[in-house]
Amino acid sequence: MPTKGERSLRVFDDLDALLVAAREEVVARAQKALRARRRFTLALSGGSTPKRLYESLATAEIDWARCQIFFGDERCVPPDHADSNYRMAREALLSKVAIPEKHVHRVKSEDADPERAAKAYEQELQSFFKLRPGELPTFDLCLMGMGPDGHTASLFPGTSALAEEVRLAAAPYVEKLNAWRVTLTAPVFNHARCVLFLVGGADKAEALKGVLESERPADELPSKLIKPSAGELLWWVDKAAAKLLSART
Ligand code: 6PG
């Protein structure tokens, strides 16, 4: 069991096994949070890996009425757009469970001004978590993915959001995608009780080795920025993604 502030790596035979374990972990952490604080605050990651996890959570034993859902990042598209992380989560999970609408805190990604959307999201965090100026929210669990370039959430290599140490949310323009994003910043993720990375596929192997076992700078591999100060950091990967690692557990 990893101790606080430590990183732990688990390598699964394949993505199916990883996602089954991830479902159990989310349920366990939800139940623990609900027992301790009568609420579970969860930040969802986007992309394709977590979709099947969210689908499997739709039948999990979780008291969704006491859960609060946020998004680690969002594409600056309308909430019904095919690229929307909110749409993916709504279709896979949120539309299938008894979670009150006001407990789903989506980024207002339809706003034509990404910076204004980021500021609004930051205000939503400050209001929900009742933060004093300069205070960080504490999520019970942040689910995170990693791209083949080592990005996580919408913290992409070489973008301004990487250096953000004060703001809770930022609106980087991602050159290579020719797209605006809104993302939570590294300080927010690093203040979570637990960050769980779910990484599968051989296309992630190079970046994963770089993040976990190299001295390459975080500006090149932004997932390196995610190191919870007191929370747990779990890297759950499949064998294909882990194939270049020297450490196997
Ligand atoms: C997004 C995600 C992003 C994702 C990685 C990995 O909005 O795309 O938040 O950071 O986690 O791109 O995505 P996959 O796990 O689907 O490869």
CATH number at residue 48: 3.40.50.1360
Residue 3 has a pLDDT of: 56
Residue 211 maps to a domain: no
Nearest CA to ligand 1 atom 2: 46
Q: How far is the CA of 15 from the centre of ligand 1 (A)?
A: 15
Residue 9 maps to a domain: no
Q: Which residues line ligand 1 (CB under 6 A)?
A: 45-49, 72-73, 85, 145-147, 151-154
CB 53 within 8 A of CB 164: no
Residue 219 maps to a domain: no
Q: How far is the CA of 68 from the centre of ligand 1 (A)?
A: 21
Residue 220 maps to a domain: no
Atom of ligand 1 nearest to the CA of 154: 10
11, β-bridge pairs: 237
Give the dihedral sign, CA 42/47/50/51.
positive
Cut 0.75: pTM above it: yes
Q: What are phi and psi of 28, to 5 degrees?
A: -65, -45
Residue type, 215: E
CB atoms within 10 A of CB 181: 29
Residue 243 maps to a domain: no
The radius of gyration computed from the CA coordinates of the chain, to the nearest angstrom, equals 17
End-to-end CA distance of the chain: 12
Look up tokens 């994003």; give the residue.
181
Nearest CA to ligand 1 atom 15: 49
Residue 51 maps to a domain: yes
Look up tokens 């300069």; give the residue.
134
> Which residues, in sequence order, are CB contacts of 41 under 8 Å at separation 6+?
33, 67, 68, 70, 129, 137, 138, 139, 140, 141
Look up tokens 């992409």; give the residue.
156
Q: Looking at the 3D structure of the chain, how many domains does it have?
A: 1
Instruction: Find the domain containing 69 and state its range.
Output: 17-200
Q: For each successive 10 residues of the chain (249 residues), what is the average pLDDT?
A: 73 98 98 98 97 98 98 98 98 98 98 98 98 97 98 97 97 97 98 98 98 97 97 98 85
Residue 249 has a pLDDT of: 56
Q: Which of 172, 176, 177 is nearest to 159 (CA)?
A: 172
